Structure 1
Amino acid sequence: MSFPWLKGHGTENDFVLLPDHDGTLHGDLDASFVAALCHRRRGIGADGVLRVIRSAALPDVESAGEWFMDYRNADGSISEMCGNGVRVFALHLVQEGLADPSAPFVVGTRDGDKIVTFDTSSPGGPLISVDMGVPHVQGVSKVSAHGNTWEAQDVRTGNPHAVAFVDRLGDAGALLTEPDYDTSIYPEGVNIEFVVREGERHVAMRVHERGSGETRSCGTGACAVAVATAVADGAERPSTYRVDVPGGTVHVAWGADDHIVLTGPAEIVARGTMDWTA
């Protein structure tokens, strides 16, 4: 079949965007098709797929926003939320004239509606902020990688996360395979973050994402890391943390209203029409 596509990234967490406004082009969005698109040797290559579809085209969706981010992991599995992806999604809407950046607007996701705000004053391109909602800090568990085991804070920021503080980011090894974790706590899988402190309210992280492997960045993971660090610091709110990821830097503000706001860049880098023959 022939279909339009775009490629974008947020701090090098990259995505294939599939415009499918009324939902008739890609139907149920087959998991094997998504995985093939994301394959870095046999497809376009990406950490996930963002289908651009109207909320009204999905009968099970309740959203105040006109547009819904139908996000899939690189293996084709469904994910609740993607913090970097929603910035890329919002940038696409603005560039196509489907949303107005002069005022906040709503993007629907499986983790509920997200309010997006554009700051166009940045000389390097717009900085996009997303109200990610209220995080849920739960218990602790253990994660293991490269022969090491750490205690990990359970934080839910739309997706489940296990946040482990380590001495060096390299202690987690190559992350070519999924780290071990407690499947009784995370029966549907978990994103695992390895974190080092770089300074006051400044951390760096690596992440292994369920369904995708190690990625250059994870927006919900950066939020989880900021929350876990703030909890460990006993930081009063409002507080803002800088989070360095392999693909760049984002900032996470945890407000007095308990909401977390993720701010960072996004970029659309390619577009085309594909005749899919695989």
Structure 2
Amino acid sequence: MTESILLHKVHANGADYLVHVAKDEDAAICAPETVAQWCHRRTGIGASGFVQLTPTTAPEHTAEQVHWQLQAYRLDGSPQPVNGDELRAAARILIDEGHVELAPAETLPILTVNGIHDVQPNGSGGFQLDLGRWRLIQNEPTVLVPGLEIPRPGLEIELAGSRVIVIALAHADELAAVHIDTAPTIEPEPVDLPTIAYVVPDEPLVRDSVGWLRMRAWQPVSGGTDAGGTAAAATALAVRYWAGSDAGNRAPNHWRVTTDGGPLQVRMFPTEEGEHLGLAGRAERVFDTRVTLPQGEPR
């Protein structure tokens, strides 16, 4: 007997995801080759990645009532750390499909391989979420990519289980010239390829206590992306770090990062365990479809 499952297509600031909500905690994850087939742009449905949601119970080390866990996959079927884009896509489907009902100002905790992330609807039809703590990597990488004449120094940041190298460019023409679909050359060569984010500050940089940036990003496997929530958060951190203090005025903790897929909002805020990063952006349901599982696919 052939089995089919329901997939939801969601757009999140230019990134698009196939989201599947499993019936129970024991549901098996689809095989990597099946995910890759569904995500293929020409022979499948087409997506930047795949999001699997399964019911779960709250971990013992937290008081939060966590009912859902999320596993994210790249378009080739390989697992990846959770980006803010996948979290927004997941929240959109959990709420729209009635799996979750939130009271006003209530947050939705979602368990990932990087811990628990709190997601909350915002007034613009999207979601704001907590990406967690971040860490500055103490190295000095350089990046060369077609469109830039010489290697550029970068700042490497670890955030939500991902590493992002942020490259500051001089002006918007340089940003437009970067061959975003080409894999960059990184020195020293990393063991695992990080995301590369190219950023240009707006003029003026700060308006009404908010920093304004423009960003384009390259991700391993996916290549150039119109979105990149974690990359956007890392660019805001990097520019704040570079800006430092000017005449005693601290760089802002609220940022608007414009990507090819639209604007994302980033904020830095203190917690008991250290500074966290917040991210806000859109998540729009596009369509639903049923797909037949390949014969022998475990469920």
TM-score of the aligned structures, taking structure 1 as reference length: 0.89
Tell me which stretches of 4 or more aligned residues in structure 1 moved more than 4 Å: none
In the alignment, residue 270 of structure 1 is paired with which amino acid?
A: F
Q: What value does the CA root-mean-square deviation take over the aligned residues?
A: 2.3
In the alignment, residue 266 of structure 2 is paired with which amino acid?
A: V
Q: Does 1:4 align with 2:6?
A: yes
Looking at structure 1, the residues matched to 70 and 130 of structure 2 have their Cα atoms a distance apart, in angstroms, of 15
Compute the displacement of 1:210 (Å): 1.3
Looking at structure 2, the residues matched to 39 and 148 of structure 1 have their Cα atoms a distance apart, in angstroms, of 34
Does the 8 A contact of 2:58 with 2:66 survive in 1?
no
Q: 1:204 to 1:133 in 2, by over 3 A?
A: same
Counterpart position of 1:134: 133
2:289 to 269, 272, 276: 272
**Helix, strand or coil: the match of 1:28?**
coil
2:277 to 233, 253, 260: 260
Q: 1:229 to 1:237 in 2, by over 3 A?
A: closer
In the alignment, residue 245 of structure 1 is paired with which amino acid?
A: T
Compute the displacement of 1:237 (Å): 7.3
2:19 to 8, 12, 17: 17
Q: Does 1:224 align with 2:224?
A: no
**Helix, strand or coil: the match of 2:86?**
helix
Does the 8 A contact of 1:32 with 1:76 survive in 2?
yes
Ranges in structure 1 where 5+ consecutive residues have no aligned partner:
none
Q: 1:23 to 1:33 in 2, by over 3 A?
A: farther
Looking at structure 2, the residues matched to 43 and 30 of structure 1 have their Cα atoms a distance apart, in angstroms, of 15
Compute the displacement of 1:148 (Å): 3.7
Compute the displacement of 1:19 (Å): 1.8
Instruction: Count residues with an aligned counterpart.
Output: 268
Looking at structure 1, the residues matched to 282 and 181 of structure 2 have their Cα atoms a distance apart, in angstroms, of 27
Does the 8 A contact of 2:71 with 2:82 survive in 1?
no
Compute the displacement of 1:86 (Å): 0.2
Looking at structure 1, the residues matched to 67 and 188 of structure 2 have their Cα atoms a distance apart, in angstroms, of 36
Ranges in structure 2 where 5+ consecutive residues have no aligned partner:
206-210
Q: Counterparts in 2 of 1:110-149, with a 5 A limit? A: 110-119=113-122, 121-122=123-124, 126-139=125-138, 140-146=140-146, 147-149=149-151
Structure showing greater radius of gyration is 2
TM-score of the aligned structures, taking structure 2 as reference length: 0.83
Q: 1:187-233 CA deviation, whole Å, 9 max, x = no partner? A: 22211111111132111111111121111100111111111111111
Q: 1:101-121 CA deviation, whole Å, 9 max, x = no partner? A: 3211201111110011112x3
Counterpart position of 2:164: 161
Compute the displacement of 1:171 (Å): 3.3
Q: Does 1:170 align with 2:180?
A: no
